[in-house]
Structure 1
Amino acid sequence: MAADFIQNCLDGLMIGSSYSLLAIGFTLIFGVMRRLNLSYGPSIMLGAFLGTLVYLEFQAGNFVVALATVFGAIAAGIYVERVCFWAIRQGAAAASMVS
C-alpha cells in the first residue's frame, strides 16, 4: 500500500513537471514572438512519439531515446516555424490567415 502511494506521488510529480515545462514553453514563445504558437504542444508530442517508436522498434537505450525525442521535437518546431511563422514575419497577409 505504501509502495503504491509513493509510486502514485512520483507519477504525479512527473506528469506535473511535464505540464509545467509545456506551460513555460508557451509563455516563453508568446513573450518573445508576441504570437500564440498552438503547434508547440503537438511538436512536443511528435518528439515523444518518435522517442517511443525508437524505444519499441530498436530497443534503444535511454540516452538514444532522449536524443531522438529532443531532435524530433526540434525538427517539428523548425518545420512549423519555416512553414507558418516565416511568412508572417515577412508580412504576407494571406499567411496570417492560413496559419
Structure 2
Amino acid sequence: MKTNDLLADRVSTTLDAELVRLVGQLCFVKGGDPAAISAVVLGALSFLTIQAQHDRSMLGIDLRSEAGWGRIEAAVKLIYKGLAKSALTSSTIQVVIKPQPTAGGVW
C-alpha cells in the first residue's frame, strides 16, 4: 500500500480483477451497488487488519484477540443481513437467483 512500484501495481490490479469476478459471482441483488458495498467492507477490514498488525485497537475493540475479531465478524454479518432485509422490502432493489456455476467456474 505504501509502495508505488511495478510489482505492487500488478498485485493490486490482479487482486482487484479477482475481487470483481468474485463479487459478480456472489451477488444476488439487482438494483443495488454490490461492488461499492463490498469495497467499503473490504476496505474497512483491510484497515482493521493493518491496525491489528500495529497492535492498535479500534473503538476499544482488541484487534489482536479472537474475541475482538468475533465482534467484527458479527458486525459484518449484521450489515449484510440488513442489506438483505432492505433488498427484500425495497421497491427498487430485487433479490435475483443466479444460475449455479459449472464445475469449471467454481473457485
State TM-score, norm by structure 2: 0.52
Choose from 18, 21, 26 the match for 2:23: 26
Distance in 2 (alpha carbons) for counterparts of 1:47 and 1:75? 13
* Structure with more relative contact order (C-alpha pairs < 8 Å, separation 6 or more): 2
- Check 1:77–1:46 CA distance in 2 against 1; reply closer, same or farther (3 A cut): same
Give the structure 1 partner of residue 98 of structure 2: none
Pairwise CA distance, 1:71: 7.4
| Superposed CA RMSD | 3.5
Query: Which of 37, 43, 46 is the matching residue for 1:45?
Result: 43
Percent same amino acid at aligned positions?
8
> 1:35-73: per-residue Cα shift (whole Å, max 9, x none)?
342311111001101101001126xxxxxx8x9xx9798
Shift of 1:16: 0.9
Does structure 2 retain, via aligned residues, the 8 Å contact 1:87–1:95?
no
Question: Which residue pairs with 1:12 in the alignment?
Answer: 9
- Give the number of aligned pairs: 78
Deviation at 1:17, TM superposition (A): 1.7
Contact 1:46 1:73 in 2 (8 A): no
Unaligned runs of at least 5 residues, structure 1: 1-6, 59-64
The answer for unaligned runs of 5 or more in structure 2 is: 57-63, 94-107
- Cα separation, 2, equivalents of 1:28 and 1:84: 17
